Amino acid sequence: MDKGIIALAADHAGFELKAALKAELEGKGREVLDLGAFGPESVDYPDFANALAKALAEGRARWGLAVCGTGIGISIALNRHRHVRAALCHDATSARLAREHNDANVLALGARLIGAEVAKECVQTFLGTAFAGGRHERRVAKLA
């Protein structure tokens, strides 16, 4: 499992799930960079997506974990950045395939759509899966 720093970002809808995932990751000895939100007050998910993308671009983190209500908005905002491959996942299988086939570097989750236990499984699977390369390399290269 890659031990790189994980940048966490969420809007108000994803704040609680982000906090639970942060505690889980830190409990397993992982280093995290928490970019907010830091409470349930209404905020705009693109601001947090942009902060996460900047952290990746600057090398302050190797991985990203983004959470909003559905995961859709924050993943759209993240994927506007050329160096980001954010994958919205709903289960461990989609998290595994996002890494294996798409070399995703950000996992996006929807706090209103999945529970904390499924989210934890997604995170562990995502971080524990390597890019398969091979035939997938050509396709991923076209994303850049």
pLDDT-above-70 percentage for the chain? 99
Report the CATH number at residue 42: 3.40.1400.10
In a domain, 116, yes or no: yes
Instruction: Please confirm, yes or no, whether 89 is among the known catalytic residues.
Output: no
pLDDT digits (tens, 9 = 90+) for 114-142: 999 999 999 999 999 999 888 999 999 88
pLDDT at 33 over 80: yes
In a domain, 1, yes or no: no
Helix/strand/coil percentages in the chain, nearest 5: 45, 15, 40
In a domain, 58, yes or no: yes
In a domain, 52, yes or no: yes
Higher pLDDT, 58 or 144: 58
pLDDT at 3 over 90: no
Domain count, the chain: 1
In a domain, 92, yes or no: yes
| Domain range for 25 | 6-143
Instruction: Please confirm, yes or no, whether 101 is among the known catalytic residues.
Output: yes
pLDDT for 2: 59
pLDDT-above-90 percentage for the chain? 91
Write down the catalytic residue from 81, 90, 101, 136.
101
In a domain, 37, yes or no: yes
pLDDT for 144: 81
Q: What are phi and psi for residue 95, nearest 5 degrees?
A: -65, -40
pLDDT at 51 over 80: yes
In a domain, 43, yes or no: yes
Write down the catalytic residue from 12, 68, 89, 122.
68
CA 107, CA 97: separation in Å to the nearest integer? 11
**pTM attached to this predicted model:** 0.95
In a domain, 36, yes or no: yes
Distance (Å) of CA 101 to CA 86, 87, 93: 13, 11, 12
